[in-house]
Each structure stands twice: as structure tokens, then as C-alpha cells.
A = this chain, B = another copy of it.
Amino acid sequence: MKDDRIREECGVFGLFSNSEKSVSEDIYYGLIALQHRGQESAGISVTDREGNMGNSITHKGMGLVSEVFDAELLGRLKGNIGLGHVRYSTTGESVISNAQPIAMNYIKGSLALAHNGNIINAAELKKAQMLRGLAHFGTTDSEVIAYEIIFDRVNTGSIEEAVKKTAGKIRGGYALLVMSPRKLVAIRDPLGIKPLVLGKRGDDFILASESAAITSIGGKLIRDVRPGEIICISSDGIKSDLSLCGENHAHCIFEYIYFARCDSVMDGVEVHEARVRAGRALARSAPVDADLVAGVPDSGIAAAEGYSMESGIRFGHIFHKNSYIGRSFIKPTDRERKIAVHMKLNVLRDAVNNKRIVLIDDSIVRGNTMRQIIEALKNAGAREVHVRISSPPFLHPCFYGTDVPGSGELIASDHSGKEVCEAIGADSLCHLHLEDFKTVVPGHRFCCACFDGNYPVK
């Protein structure tokens, strides 16, 4: 199943506390709230507000947040500034030397960095760094950024100035948290491709990839970090530098369609609501006569709700999803491959028997899973299965940090809609039109390169 999903690469979470309490426990909870954005590695770095610690303390490991950290480890990560990271690798291998935060000591003390996104000119920056005699321990572009900031810091008066200088050199989509001995600095790429939000809990400031991580720990969302904005938090309070901000925005549309948690608010819109609206738009553009609207768990549920509201067709559940199929689950052997879909999603027979069903999902990548699901529904007695996808067909790769497979693997790239419909065994298949999608969050400019090939950064 998982193999047929687009994967996000990372989540970042930072906390600057003005109390005496250690921040590591809250960062742990914040990362668990962002776990959907990356399950390969997790890490936390902390330091103390007064710069007394000399070095920051970092722990990171491969696996889920709850596997990497235990109570004893969190207890040792004492500090009142901190940042954390969850990772799914898109560039670089899946090894511990690529896990984040990247933590180093440089001329001004310790530096820790957590990064979500991709830098498209990383290779040339890395070459220039190496010609100066630098070496890399891992293979990520995040390490490139870290060295760039350190280099700029040598000739600059402050960490926030160094971050700004570096921002002038890197191109791509990024949400970046940087911790110096006394400050927590954040920057979002000037197009706003990657999400980053600012929150507060009491006197503490929070920076996170998604607002759900802020509200999960009892904080309040203040606002989205502006595209190109640099925020610097220290004992002197919070400062915002808007000088790199521009007019041209390109928010990743896939955050709304699939990546983000449905309870996150992005640019003022709750993601669940955006998906409901996408389902409504789909019902208008691709209506069908049916008895029941259902979503493929979990990502198709919200759009199914919207399709139901608009069409008046009843919304219901038709699958049991087994929540015990985790990372360590032993995948069925080839011979038993077909049971994999039953293990994860088992059909509720009474709910589908003799029904005409509208089945909503957020996207189709390779089509394998959808084919198996439809087969299972038909075996359980479904009379018709009309597939409605709440996004346009995938046609192009992503260069900004999202793991869209090469077009050779995208079923839509070399098959007509009719061919795909036949391949998956559906009675009909429709996608949401890109223009309709854009109405979902009105007034926003998106990066839709995976659908239309218009890349906002060259």
C-alpha cells in the first residue's frame, strides 16, 4: 500500500522557552504530531538560553520518534531552546549520518539545524565549499546549508545575518530552523513552497512545519511565517526580517491534498476544510448516480465527506483499517502478495453489498492499490465502483523535496484516463481539474508543477 503513496520528506519543530522548564519533552510531542511527515529518522537538539552550555546536546536515531527517544534520553536533553526533526529521505541515503538536526561546533559555538525541503543548487555550493577545504559527513543538502551559514557567520555580526546571507545563495523550497548558542532562527523560502508556522504557548515561542504540532502541545497558532521571512527569537524577544519577501508565491499544492494533517491550518484554511471543498468541487465537475460515497482511508475521507455534502449521496465507511501494520510488519511474500491489501484494508461486506459506490481518493500514483481495492469491493458484492480523485493526474516529477516517482512509474503519464479506468477495474474515473482545485483555497498561488510542469524555481 505504502509504496503507492507519495511521501513527504521532513517535519521541523522548534521551541524557545522563557521559563526554566526543559523543552525536550514538548519537542518530543511536537515531533510525534509531525510524524506523518517522515518516519525514517528523528532527532532533537537543545541548548540553554544564556549560552552557558558551550555545546548543544543532540540525540538522533533511525526510526519513529517513539522508538528513538525514551524518558531517560529526554531527561538528559536539558535546555530551554531546542529544535527537532523527523525525516523521510528524498535526497541522500537513509543512514544515520544523514539524520537531523545537524549539530556542529564552529567558531561561535554550537549550531544545530533542521531543514525541510530541497536545495536545487546544492551540488554547486557543495563543490565550492569543498574547494575551500571542507568535508561532509553525510550526503544531504542540509549539510550544505549548515556549512554555508557557518561560513557566512565568520564574516557577519550575527547568526540571523548569516542565515540571511545564505538565503541569498540557496535556491529551492525550504523551511529552516537554526539554533545558535542563544537564539532560534527560522526562515521560509521566498516562494513559500514549504510550510512553516509560528505559535505561542504562554511566554514560549513555537515554530513548526504545521499548526497541528502547535495545538497538539496546547499552544496557539499565531500565523504562517511569510515566504522569505526571517524570524529570530532570543531573550530579547522576537524579531522579523521581511526584506527577502517578494510578491511571487507558490505554495506546494500537495500539502493541501495529502501531506498535511487535516487539523492543520495553512494560510488561514484548515486542511480538512480544503479537502472537503475539493470533494465538493469534484461532485460538481464529476457527478454520478450512486448509493454511497466512501473514501479510501485515511486521505480520501475528507473529500468523500465533501462529495457527499454537494451530491446529497450518503457518506459512509466501507473499510476496516488495521492500525497495527507498522514499520516492523513483515511484508507478505510474493506468493501471498494479494493478502497485503486485505491485511491493511478489509471491506465491510454488509456496507457495500449490492451498492453503487463513489470511491474517493486523493491521488493515483501507480494504480496497483486502487486496482486491488476495487477488486475487493466487487468481490464483496459492490454493483458499481466510480472512482473520483480529488486532485489532477500526476504527470511531472518534483524537484523541491517531494518523493513523486519518475514519470515512467506514474500511470497517468503514459495512459489515457480511459486506459487507467480499465486498468484499475473501475466503472468510471474522474480527476479534479486543476482550475477547480485552485478555488479550494481562494486567492492563493500554488506550485502545481507535478500536475502542470510549471516549475517556479529553475
Contacts and interface: CB of A to CB of B under 8 A. Distances in A.
The complex is assembled from copies of this chain, and their number is 4
Residue of A106, A135, A261, A320 contacting most chain B CB atoms (<10 Å): A135
A317 B305 contact: yes
A328 B35 contact: no
Interface in A309-333: 309, 314-317, 319-320, 322-326, 328-330, 332-333
Contact of A104 (B32, B137, B215): B137
A64 B324 contact: yes
Interface string A340-351: 001100111111
A103 B138 CA distance: 10
A330 B69 contact: yes
Contacts of A134: 106, 133-134, 150
Nearest to A315: B315
8 contacts: A32-B322, A33-B343, A35-B322, A104-B136, A104-B137, A111-B135, A216-B343, A261-B346
Residue of A329, A330, A336, A351 contacting most chain B CB atoms (<10 Å): A330
A210 to B, nearest CB: 11
Given A111-B135, A217-B342, A218-B336, 20 more contacts: A25-B336, A32-B324, A32-B329, A33-B343, A36-B324, A64-B324, A66-B330, A74-B330, A104-B136, A105-B136, A107-B127, A132-B154, A134-B134, A135-B146, A137-B137, A217-B339, A261-B346, A262-B317, A263-B346, A272-B320
B25 A333 contact: yes
A212 B320 contact: yes
Interface string A103-134: 11111000100000000000000010011111
Given A25-B336, A32-B343, A263-B347, A135 B317 contact: no
B218 A342 contact: yes
Contacts of A33: 322, 343, 346
